[in-house]
Amino acid sequence: MPEPDPEAIIAALLPATGIPVDPAWRAAVAANLRVAGTIAAALQSFPLSDEVEPAPVFEPGR
């Protein structure tokens, strides 16, 4: 996974969220995204077999 660019993500996706972001908040948002991107890169570098399913919480019939 390439190193994500937080500013590029903000520029591309923020308009789609409808969240009005004060320019003064952007640096902190970018810092949080940078941490998330580092974690995501670590997760995606870990080999999981195709058979490993996601683990959300769902029980049919409830």
41 neighbors 5 (Cβ within 8 angstroms): no
- C-alpha distance from residue 18 to each of 11, 15, 25, 39 (Å): 13, 6, 15, 26
Alpha carbon 37 to chain centroid, angstroms = 7
Which one of 2, 3, 23, 55 is in contact with other proteins (CB under 8 A)? 55
Positions 12 through 51 that interact with other proteins (CB under 8 A): 13-14, 17-22, 25, 28-33, 35-37, 39-40, 42-44, 46, 48
44 neighbors 3 (Cβ within 8 angstroms): no
Which one of 2, 3, 23, 53 is in contact with other proteins (CB under 8 A)? 53
| Interface residue list for other proteins (CB under 8 A) | 9-10, 13-14, 17-22, 25, 28-33, 35-37, 39-40, 42-44, 46, 48, 52-57, 59, 62
